Every structure is written in structure tokens, then in C-alpha cells.
């Protein structure tokens, strides 16, 4: 039997002799269990000993061997080799040669945060008494090995290094802030280093070899602690809280007619195959430019013979407060009211990615804390239709080329990424063309805290779309829709619409009527 081979394409760049980078492809004997670093070592030993690769421990502890494999950062010594892979140096970090990047600039930036214990009080006797419970978060954050995988894909750091110092640096500040022995002014430092400029996209967690959940373990509690010290967007959060208490929504101006006020509470169909409730979220209710998305959802469910219930007393899911770590407010102002509104309709579809993530992942935890039973089944519309009623034989042919943008809260938050693609590809006449980085954040969560940075992040997505020959960007989140629409306008991308997936489905069903 012939030996299996891996095709390994490697980025090569010697700054002293090359005018520009190039790629070289090598054939490497492939064996199960081999790592990316094994493949690179083979290339050095058998093809080119000048290939520059960094490594020390070869055991996932030193953080020196990080590279990108097919565009995703990883530790070369731990990542399994693929039969076809393109290996490039980490993005966002200066290149020294080939795959070796210069960690020094980022490590030097740590100096300004004083990355050492500043004792709260002088040590009088050793060892001081410490309880494990006080160190629980500290211990998780301390797993960071400074591999910079998170830095290479962080959208806020990519677009504005002067506004956001990067997840590894914030993790370092957090490590000290969570250390009960430390008395340094870590919260002010975190604020100054850009704590509120994180887009909360979760990409850092996805690529972190030690699974450090940076948004949940670091950003949320640190933001709350900072706001409680009266540092940061205190007024914005106070205003939002006041608003929610009166309107139940986290948006400023209600339109003359909200979607809920215009829509019946039950949309009946003959011989229903199923019944589902619709969780609208603030934007679909208040932003009249998005009301057609809600209408499309109702049409699509009707076409699929699904009866739709739209409880009028539903309120915001509470996501803006989740992102600031105010879980007590989420329980009081949102969870209890939504539990009441949906008590008879636990099978629900949410059209907003952020709502799905909050309802599906945070509500069960908060219900448990309240002693309430969580009985909801929360679906993204594509998930629901694939299970309960996608009637492709009733659809007309659309003749459209589209690309799909993964909302962070849906993809990394709720784990839904293949279903919308399956739905799009099942629509007659629709061709799905992937953009370079469909899962890269569009900056939508920064709309309240730093819209300029948010739009800068979205601009990169608009450029990815510009490279494609498509008629529409399809997504599944109202914030992504408004963010991408503005970015396409700013980048002068003409003739490309931004659609919620239910609008695409509605067009397909209407094509037959
Ligand atoms: S959540 Fe996104 S924006 Fe925030 S640090 Fe992680 S990668 Fe960067
Ligand atoms: S947080 Fe994770 S990905 Fe980022 S530097 Fe630390 S170990 Fe690496
Ligand atoms: S060589 Fe140390 S982490 Fe890979």
C-alpha cells in the first residue's frame, strides 16, 4: 500500500532577502496522530533546513509555537496535522521570518499594566491564609500561556490597537484583579486598556488552547465591577435601565406603531402541523425598517403550516445587561416577565441571534438560581424549519447568488452554523458563495459603546463581500443586518442587499404563489 501524504503549503518570508512573501508546498508522509509541528519538522529535516519555526516545550505549555492553519490560530505542537493545510504566521503580530512572529512588542505592552502582585497589605506572616473559593476565577484566567492565538483573530484589536489592547493583556489585568491579595487599581487599568471596546464576539475563546472564556469570565464581571466603581459608560447603563423599567425594551425611541401592536397574537393556519411562539426581541419590534423581517417570518411559518403565537407581553431578552454582567437585573427585569409571557408556549423561535443565545444559554442558569423550572425549547428559524417543516417543493426558483454571515451569538453562542447554510442551499435557484471569513464579527454589539469601532469592524466584512459576485448577504440577526447594511453603504458596495434568512425563504415561497 502506498504511503499516505499530506499536502502542506507554508508561508515563507525572509525579510532580509525577499521582496515579498511567497508560499511553498511540500509533500509530507502522513500518519494518524501527527501534529502540525511534526509536519513542519519533517519539512525542515527533509526539504529546507532554513524554514523558520518557533517551538520550545512541544507540549502545549510555552505558547511559542502558535501559527495559523487554514486561517485558524492554533498551537502547532498540539494541533493534529491535516491532509491538506496552509500554514501561515499569526495575524496581528509582526513577522520575524517565515512562521516566526515577534512576541516582544505585545509582551512589552504588559509592562504598562504592572503585571506583578501589588500587595493589598504588607505580608506580616507566611503563609497568609487563602481560601480556594477566592481563587476560582483567578485559577482559570491564570491558565493563559500568552500564545497570542486570541490576539491574532480579535476584531477589536485588529481594527484599533490604540483603543483595545487585546484579549491576552486584558486577561493579564483580570488575573491580577481577581487575585484577592492584589491591591492595584486594576479596574481603571482595564478600562483604560479598552475593556468596553471588546466586541464580545467569542472568537478568542474559540481559538484559545486553554478554553479561557474571555467574554464570560473576564469581560462581564470586570465590566460590572468597573461600572460599580463609577468608571466607564455608567450613564448609558443607567439610562438603559430606566428605559427597560418603563418600556420593557432596550431601545430608545419606540416607533408610532411597534410590530407587536400591529400583529395579531395568533396567526392561524388550516390543519396546523405544529405550533410555535415567536420571540421578537427589541429591534424587530421597535425598528420599523425591520418590521418586514417579522412579517416574512410569519409568512414562512404559515407556508410551512405552522401556527404562530406572538405573546404581546414579551420583553427584551436582557442581552445588553448580560454583556455588562448585571445578571441580577436580567433575572428581575427580563427573565421573570418572559417566563410569564411564554408560560403556555414553551416551544419558541427567536429571529435574533443574541436573543437565542440568551434564552438558550443564560436563562436555564438563571432559572436554576431562581428555583424556576426552565421548560423552553428555543430554536433558530433554520433549525426549526429543518426539523418541522421546510417545504422546498412549494418554493419558486429564485436565481440568486448569496453569501452567509454567521452572527457570533448564533454561531459561537448557540452553536448554529450549518443549519442556515443547509436551508439556503435547499432553496431552488439559490447559490451559496462563502466569503473569506464568514464567522468574523461585524461589530454589532459595539453599537451602544463605541459605534465608530463597530463600523470599522463591519467595514472589513463589507470588503469581503465586495470581492464576491453576490446579490445578497444573508444572516440571522437584526444587529448584523443593520450593521452590515451601513458597512456596505460606507464601502460603496452597490446592488447587494442584506437579508434575514426568513426574508429569503419568504421570497422563495412567494415565487410559487
Ligand atoms: S470577544 Fe471578540 S472582541 Fe472581545 S477579546 Fe475576544 S475576540 Fe476580541
Ligand atoms: S487567552 Fe488563551 S489564546 Fe489568548 S494568549 Fe492566553 S492562552 Fe493564548
Ligand atoms: S512548543 Fe510549547 S506550546 Fe507548542
Q: What is the pLDDT of residues 11-39, one digit of tens each?
A: 999 999 999 999 999 999 999 999 999 99
How, if at all, do strands 22-29 and 5-12 pair?
antiparallel
- Residue environment code for 234-254, b if the CB has 16+ CB neighbours within 10 A, otherwise e: eeebeebbebbeebbbbbeee
Q: Are 426 and 392 in contact (CB under 8 A)?
A: yes
**β-pairing verdict for 306-309 and 266-267:** antiparallel
When computed from its CA atoms, the radius of gyration of the chain, rounded to whole angstroms, is 25
User: What are the domain boundaries of the chain?
Assistant: 5-101, 106-228, 243-387, 394-510
Summarize the confidence of residues 173-185 as an average pLDDT.
93
CA 242 to ligand 1 center in whole angstroms? 28
The pairing of strands 472-475 and 497-500 is parallel
- CATH number for 394-510 (one of 3.40.50.11810, 3.40.50.10860, 3.30.365.10, 3.40.190.290): it is 3.40.50.11810
- Backbone φ, ψ for residue 75 (5° rounding): -85, 120
Beta carbons of 427 and 392 less than 8 angstroms apart: yes
Residue 349 has pLDDT above 60, yes or no: yes
Closest C-alpha residue for ligand 1 atom 1: 200
The three cell numbers of residue 437 are 471569513
Query: Counting atoms of ligand 1 from 1, which one is nearest the CA of 157?
Result: 8
Confidence of residue 361 (pLDDT cuts 50, 70, 90): very high
E strand spans, 70-179: 72-75, 84-88, 95-97, 100-101
More confident residue, 109 or 409: 409
* Crossing angle of helices 381-388 and 501-510, rounded to 10°: 40
Q: What ligand has the least distance to the C-alpha of 223?
A: 1
Question: How far, in Å, is the centroid of ligand 3 from the Cα of 177?
Answer: 27
Per residue in 57-74, pLDDT (tens digit) is 999 999 999 999 999 999
Q: How many other C-beta atoms can be found within 10 angstroms of the C-beta atom of residue 421?
A: 17
- Asked if 53 and 99 touch (Cβ cutoff 8 Å), the reply is yes
Phi/psi zone of residue 386: left (φ > 0), alpha (ψ -120 to 50 degrees), beta?
alpha
Tell which phi-psi region holds residue 415, choosing left (phi > 0), alpha (psi between -120 and 50) or beta: left
Candidates 241, 137, 228, 125; CA nearest to 179 is 137
Residue 252 has what pLDDT?
A: 67
Rounded-to-integer distance, Cα 381 and Cα 301, Å: 9
Tens digit of each residue's pLDDT (9 = 90 or more) over 256-265? 789 999 999 9
Q: What would the grid cell of residue 433 be?
A: 458563495
Residue 184 CB less than 6 A away from ligand 1? no
Distances (CA, A) of 103 to 15, 73, 198, 321, 374: 17, 15, 21, 35, 46
- Of 75, 142, 212, 216, the residue with max ligand 2 atoms within 8 A of its CB, to mutate for a pocket test, comes to 212
The pTM assigned to this predicted structure is 0.94
Confidence band for 513, pLDDT divided at 50, 70 and 90: very low
Q: Which numbered ligand comes closest to the C-alpha of 36?
A: 3
Residue 460 has pLDDT above 90, yes or no: yes
| Plot region of 204 (φ>0 → left; ψ -120 to 50 → alpha; else → beta) | alpha
Largest CA distance in the chain: 82
Q: Among 282-291, 403-412, 415-424, where is mean pLDDT lowest?
A: 282-291
Q: What is the pLDDT of residue 512?
A: 55
Atom of ligand 3 nearest to the CA of 147: 3
Cβ partners under 8 Å of residue 451, min gap 6 = none
For the domain covering 106-228, report its CATH number: 1.10.1060.10
pLDDT of residue 403: 98
Question: 56 CB less than 6 Å from ligand 3?
Answer: yes
DSSP 248: S
Grid cell locating 39: 509536519
Q: Considering only 183-187, 435-439, 446-450, which range has the smallest mean pLDDT?
A: 446-450
Judged against a pLDDT cut of 60, whether residue 145 lies above it is answered with yes
Class of domain 5-101: alpha beta
Three-class SS of residue 28? strand
Please give the pLDDT value at position 334: 94
CA of 141 to the centre of ligand 2 (A): 9
Answer whether 97's CB lies under 8 Å from 109's CB.
no
Our mutation pick for probing the ligand 2 site, out of 210, 215, 217, counting the most ligand atoms within 8 A of Cβ, is: 210
Q: Please, which pLDDT band fits residue 302 given cuts at 50, 70 and 90?
A: very high
Amino acid at each position: 500500500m502506498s504511503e499516505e501524504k499530506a499536502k502542506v503549503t507554508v508561508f515563507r518570508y525572509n525579510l532580509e532577502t525577499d521582496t515579498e512573501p511567497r508560499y511553498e508546498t511540500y509533500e509530507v508522509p502522513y500518519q494518524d496522530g501527527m501534529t502540525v509541528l511534526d509536519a513542519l519538522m519533517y519539512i525542515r529535516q527533509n526539504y529546507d533546513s532554513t524554514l523558520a519555526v518557533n517551538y520550545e516545550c512541544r507540549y502545549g505549555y510555552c505558547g511559542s509555537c502558535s501559527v495559523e492553519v487554514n486561517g485558524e490560530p492554533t498551537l502547532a505542537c498540539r494541533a493534529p496535522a491535516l491532509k491538506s493545510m496552509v500554514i501561515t504566521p499569526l495575524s496581528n503580530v509582526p513577522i520575524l521570518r517565515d512562521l516566526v512572529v515577534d512576541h516582544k512588542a505585545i509582551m512589552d505592552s504588559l509592562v504598562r499594566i504592572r503585571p506583578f502582585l501589588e500587595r493589598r497589605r504588607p505580608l506580616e506572616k507566611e503563609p497568609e491564609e487563602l481560601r480556594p473559593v477566592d481563587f476560582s476565577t483567578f485559577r482559570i484566567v491564570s491558565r493563559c500561556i500568552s500564545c497570542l492565538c486570541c490576539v491574532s483573530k480579535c476584531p477589536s484589536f485588529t481594527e484599533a490597537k490604540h483603543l483595545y489592547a487585546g484579549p491576552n493583556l486584558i486577561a493579564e489585568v483580570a488575573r491580577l484583579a481577581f487575585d484577592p491579595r492584589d491591591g492595584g487599581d486594576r479596574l481603571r487599568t482595564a478600562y483604560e486598556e479598552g475593556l468596553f471596546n471588546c466586541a464580545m464576539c467569542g472568537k478568542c475563546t474559540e481559538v484559545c488552547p486553554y478554553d479561557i472564556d474571555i467574554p464570560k469570565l473576564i469581560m462581564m464581571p470586570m465590566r460590572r465591577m468597573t461600572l460599580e466603581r463609577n468608571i466607564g459608560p455608567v450613564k448609558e447603563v443607567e439610562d438603559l435601565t430606566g428605559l427597560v423599567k418603563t418600556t420593557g425594551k432596550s431601545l430608545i425611541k419606540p416607533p408610532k406603531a411597534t410590530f407587536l401592536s400591529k400583529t395579531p397574537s395568533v396567526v392561524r393556519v388550516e390543519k396546523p402541523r405544529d405550533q410555535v411562539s415567536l420571540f421578537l426581541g427589541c429591534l424587530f419590534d421597535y425598528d420599523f425598517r425591520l418590521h418586514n423581517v417579522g412579517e416574512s417570518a410569519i409568512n414562512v411559518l404559515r407556508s410551512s403550516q405552522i401556527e404562530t403565537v406572538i405573546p404581546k407581553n414579551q420583553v427584551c431578552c436582557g442581552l445588553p445587561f448580560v454583556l455588562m454582567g448585571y445578571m441580577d437585573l436580567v433575572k428581575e427585569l427580563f427573565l421573570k416577565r418572559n417566563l410569564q409571557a411564554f408560560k403556555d408556549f414553551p416551544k419558541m423561535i427567536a429571529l435574533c441571534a443574541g436573543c437565542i443565545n440568551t434564552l438558550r444559554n443564560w436563562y436555564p442558569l438563571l432559572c436554576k438560581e431562581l428555583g424556576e423550572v426552565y421548560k423552553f425549547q428555543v430554536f433558530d428559524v433554520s433549525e426549526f424549519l429543518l426539523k418541522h417543516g421546510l417545504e422546498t417543493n412549494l418554493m419558486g426558483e429564485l436565481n440568486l447568488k448569496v453569501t452567509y454571515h454567521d452572527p457570533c451569538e448564533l454561531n459561537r453562542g448557540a452553536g448554529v452554523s450549518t443549519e442556515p447554510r443547509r436551508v439556503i442551499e435547499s432553496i431552488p435557484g439559490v447559490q451559496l458563495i462563502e466569503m473569506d471569513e464568514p464567522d468574523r464579527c461585524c461589530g454589532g454589539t459595539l453599537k451602544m459603546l463605541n459605534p465608530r469601532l463597530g463600523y470599522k469592524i463591519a467595514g472589513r466584512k463589507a470588503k469581503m463581500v465586495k470581492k464576491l459576485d453576490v446579490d445578497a448577504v444573508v444572516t440571522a440577526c437584526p444587529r448584523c443586518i443593520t450593521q452590515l447594511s451601513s458597512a456596505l453603504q460606507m464601502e460603496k458596495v452597490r446592488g447587494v442587499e442584506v437579508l434575514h434568512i426568513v426574508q429569503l425563504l419568504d421570497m422563495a415561497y412567494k415565487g410559487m404563489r
